[in-house]
Amino acid sequence: MGRVFLEGYDPDEFDCYRQIMQNLPPVQGWLTDNYSGERERVIRGTNGSVECRPMAYTRSNAMRLDAARDWIDKQTTISAALKNALIFSVILAADRAFNGTNDQKSSLKAWTTRALTPVSFPTPSLIEGPTGTQLNSDILHLDSKAYDFVYLDPPYTHGVLYAACYHLNNSIAVWNKPQLNYDYALPRPLDICFRDKGETAGGFYNKSTAAECFQHLLTQFDCKRIVLSYSNAPRNVLTPDELFAICSAVGTVSTYSVDHAICTQPSMFNKVSTELKELFITIDTHD
């Protein structure tokens, strides 16, 4: 998705392919088999009661999403930019048809109107202007570290893994049809079931490893200015003061803050706490 914003795509070509994608015959595939219809499951916090609950998508929508995503992979002669834009469109469509709130860990008790609406494939925002490059790697193991300006938006909540929150987007993007663990309300790819593997996620996701990660993150760049977004939410891996101490060792720090909502809170509640602040920390580096 980042590549679509940074590299752009040909809108006319995209539209032509989008229309074909919109009219493909539905196919029963990986999404249909694993994430559609209703499934009996034990409901957490109910003393083991079993109920039949909606999954991520209605069967007919999952079949349209499967048809589109399989078809994109068969288009072997199209440009990478067009392919990425089409995949982005499938992710946007899947997101709209998803029977849940903000993350992809569970779905709602009853089908929503959105989930019951037939899938339509949107056109991703086309950003005009200078193009850029997306690197896809661990930020703690970068090859290139010299930049004019660095903006960082790292995870900051203990135990809330992005890979678990947005695994469906990732599976649709990569389309490697991973093996799943069905013990969760929505099945999860095995490689992100850390607890079942007896592992902790570590890195930015854990209070015991976060300080070292932030220190490494902020001291590695050869640049004049770093801007970091963070928040003061209660489950954060570092308190703002702990983070300021790390930032102050790197350069001169100034902050700007705005109100924000917790990302795991359904957007339909539209609740913004006056206590919660999104912080933008500017560090003008010492050298």
Burial class for 94, CB neighbours closer than 10 Å (0-12, 13-18, 19+): buried
Residue 42 CA to chain centroid, in angstroms?
27
Q: Does 111 bind ligand SAM (CB under 6 A)?
A: no
139 binds ligand SAM (CB under 6 A): yes
- 230 is a site residue for ligand SAM (CB under 6 A): no
Between 68 and 233, CB nearer to ligand SAM = 233
Q: Does 280 interact with ligand SAM (rule: CB under 6 A)?
A: no
Residue type, 260: H
Work out whether 159 is an interface residue with ligand SAM (CB under 6 A).
no
Q: In the complex with ligand SAM, which residue's Cβ is closer, 7 or 70?
A: 7
Strand order through the sheet with 225-231: 149-152, 225-231, 273-285, 251-260
Q: Does 155 bind ligand SAM (CB under 6 A)?
A: yes
Task: Read off the tokens for 8.
Answer: 């752009």
174 binds ligand SAM (CB under 6 A): no
| Phi and psi at residue 280, to the nearest 5° | -115, 110
Q: How far is the CB of 160 from ligand SAM (least distance, A)?
A: 10
Site for ligand SAM (CB under 6 A): which residue of 153, 212, 222, 284? 153
Q: Which is nearer to ligand SAM, 62 or 172 (CB)?
A: 172
Binding footprint of ligand SAM, residue count (CB under 6 A): 9
Residue 138 interacting with ligand SAM (CB under 6 A)? yes
Sole window of 8-16, 101-109, 153-161, 243-251 interacting with ligand SAM (rule: CB under 6 A): 153-161
Q: How far is the CB of 237 from ligand SAM (least distance, A)?
A: 11
Torsion sign, CA atoms 161, 167, 169, 172: positive
Cβ at position 29, least distance to ligand SAM in Å: 26
Instruction: Based on the shown chain and the rule CB under 6 A, indicate whether residue 203 belongs to the binding site for ligand SAM.
Output: yes
Interface contacts to ligand SAM, rule CB under 6 A: 138-140, 153-155, 162, 203-204
